Amino acid sequence: DQQVKQNSPSLSVQEGRISILNCDYTNSMFDYFLWYKKYPAEGPTFLISISSIKDKNEDGRFTVFLNKSAKHLSLHIVPSQPGDSAVYFCAVKNNAGNMLTFGGGTRLMVKP
Amino acid sequence: KAGVTQTPRYLIKTRGQQVTLSCSPISGHRSVSWYQQTPGQGLQFLFEYFSETQRNKGNFPGRFSGRQFSNSRSEMNVSTLELGDSALYLCASRPSSLYEQFFGPGTRLTVL
């Protein structure tokens, strides 16, 4: 039973345009949400996070939106750059502990 | 600050053997978590240690164990290796005041 789903395994975007990555979760006990970027043969790199008491958090080109009623999380990257090409994972934290549950990842390809 | 370091980076073992992986967290981080990444199951939580105590454990058999030392360095051990244990093993550390986890580069374990 997947508690965190990233339904798009891949996404292709033109350089300079917006990339929107989506994540759905099932458990209302999740209280903290994170996005990580991963290059091959490297560990995930933390990008941005949001608490369940907020609905938006922005950091430079990256914005995370949280829709609690829909149990939906999204990451917007504007403008997209070729260096953003990587696999992006959403991760959620349960309010009962600090372990993270990850989605399956979305491979983003930004074309020059 | 130096990032999370993991040793070794690559390891080849045969079925039935045991293996020990090592992780040094970011200086000042007292929480260390371990994750397994496989193509089929994605990123899955193994366990978390804080101040030498296991705080949380994921849904893995008892062959997977870990420990944390007084300097916050952590080791994980897998006994009686199976082919399905071939994976990228990731260590992450976290400061006590934050939920964000910072990952090391991982140890790629291949079981033949």
What are B59's two structure tokens? 């849904």
B23: left (phi over 0), alpha (psi -120 to 50) or beta: beta
Nearest to B105 among A42, A89, A97 (CB): A42
Nearest to A46 among B43, B100, B105 (CB): B100
Cα dihedral across residues A8, A3, A87, B43: positive or negative: negative
Name residues 47-106 of chain A within 8 A of B (Cβ). 49, 89, 91, 93, 97-105
CA–CA gap between residue B94 and residue B98 (Å, rounded): 7
Cα dihedral across residues B103, A44, A1, B83: positive or negative: negative
Query: What one-letter code names the amino acid at A101?
Result: T
For the stretch B41-100, pLDDT in tens is 889 999 999 999 999 899 999 999 999 999 999 999 999 999 999 999 999 999 988 889
Residues paired with B47 in a beta bridge = B34, B57
For position A2, what pLDDT does the model report? Answer: 77
What DSSP assignment string belongs to B47-91?
EEEETTEEEEE-S--TTEEEEE-TTS-EEEEE-S--GGG-EEEEE
- Are B39 and B105 contacting, i.e. CB atoms less than 8 angstroms apart? no
For position B86, what pLDDT does the model report? Answer: 96
**Cβ–Cβ gap A34/B43 under 8 Å:** no
Which residue in B has a C-alpha nearest to residue A90's C-alpha? B43
**Cβ–Cβ gap B43/A89 under 8 Å:** yes
* pLDDT tens over chain A, length 112 residues: 679 999 999 999 999 999 999 999 998 888 999 999 999 888 999 999 999 999 999 999 999 999 999 999 999 999 999 999 999 999 999 877 788 999 999 999 999 9
- Are A70 and A26 contacting, i.e. CB atoms less than 8 angstroms apart? no
Higher pLDDT, B52 or B2: B52
For position A40, what pLDDT does the model report? Answer: 85
